[in-house]
């Protein structure tokens, strides 16, 4: 705790307490005011990261003050403090290493990765490049979420991130934008099912048009033959796309 906590609360703190509707004594200290204010807010992201690392239960129900006190209790233990300081690099740090084609050392520690990334980001061009990559990641995640929202209509299970990225990269090589890929759901799911037939749902949720209209479907050998031919054509196109994306 800092030396500021025993000091009398500032006018700004008292004004904020009044705005929040929290009663307080006139001689309230800065520390006490801070704790009362914190009861009205969610925990800070950095604090949540510490609590998750040590698997503290009930984080979602904690206020900012609760989380802060739990964090302080953790760091009273020298062993836990050392564990935190020597924790492994996180997912984002490793992603930055890979994005800039830097090898990720085995046993890379968070603080070492942070130092390397800090030095790397002294170059504004690299900061901008990573910012664009983060924006693209958000766009990809949003597009996949929207497509998977419609997957049942195309008799397809939810498409995973890895296959989704492979399809997007292949289609972007053919000058299609992410927006165009997302808007052409039928084409996307046709390619996904061709690439991974196990995604096809066993029980279709869609009714044939004839049933939906209250009509019985009659057998038509020519139509059935034409339908089979069309399926074969689609299969060949998907096969060509897979070969082209793999070897081309």
Instruction: Yes or no: say if 156 and 200 are a contact pair by the CB < 8 Å rule.
Output: yes
Q: Which of 110, 71, 105, 106 is closest to 87 using CA atoms? A: 110
Instruction: Yes or no: say if 75 and 53 are a contact pair by the CB < 8 Å rule.
Output: no
Give residue limits of the domains in the chain: 11-85, 91-120, 125-206+228-247
Q: What is the C-alpha separation between 33 and 24, in angstroms, rounded?
A: 8
Q: Which long-range contacts (CB under 8 A, 24 or more apart) does 142-147 make?
A: 143/168, 143/178, 143/181, 143/182, 146/182, 147/182, 147/185, 147/188, 147/189
One digit per residue, the tens of pLDDT, for the chain of length 248 reads 458 999 999 999 999 999 999 999 999 999 999 999 999 999 999 999 999 999 999 999 999 999 999 999 999 999 999 999 999 999 999 999 999 999 999 999 999 999 999 999 999 999 999 999 999 999 999 999 999 999 999 999 999 999 999 999 999 999 999 999 999 999 999 999 999 999 998 875 554 433 444 544 444 544 444 555 555 656 656 656 665 655 55
In this predicted structure, what is the pLDDT of residue 202? 83
């Amino acid at each position: 705790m800092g030396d500021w906590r025993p000091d009398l609360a500032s006018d700004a703190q008292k004004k904020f307490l009044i705005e929040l509707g929290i009663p307080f004594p006139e001689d309230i200290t800065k520390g006490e005011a801070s704790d009362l204010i914190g009861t009205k807010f969610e925990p800070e992201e950095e604090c949540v990261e510490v609590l998750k690392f040590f698997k503290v239960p009930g984080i979602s129900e904690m206020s900012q003050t609760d989380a802060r006190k739990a964090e302080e209790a953790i760091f009273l233990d020298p062993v836990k403090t050392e564990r935190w300081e020597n924790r492994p690099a996180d997912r984002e740090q490793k992603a930055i290493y890979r994005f800039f084609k830097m090898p990720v050392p085995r046993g890379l520690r968070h603080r070492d990765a942070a130092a390397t990334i800090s030095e790397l980001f002294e170059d504004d061009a690299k900061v901008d490049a990573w910012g664009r990559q983060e924006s693209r990641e958000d766009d990809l995640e949003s597009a996949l979420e929207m497509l998977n929202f419609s997957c049942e209509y195309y008799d397809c299970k939810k498409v995973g991130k890895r296959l989704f990225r492979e399809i997007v990269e292949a289609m972007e090589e053919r000058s299609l934008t992410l927006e165009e890929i997302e808007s052409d759901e039928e084409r996307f799911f046709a390619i996904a099912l061709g690439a991974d037939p196990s995604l096809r749902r066993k029980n279709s949720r869609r009714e044939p048009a004839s049933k939906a209209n209250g009509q019985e479907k009659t057998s038509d050998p020519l139509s059935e033959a034409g339908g089979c031919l069309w399926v074969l054509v689609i299969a060949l196109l998907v096969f060509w796309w897979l070969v082209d994306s793999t070897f081309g």
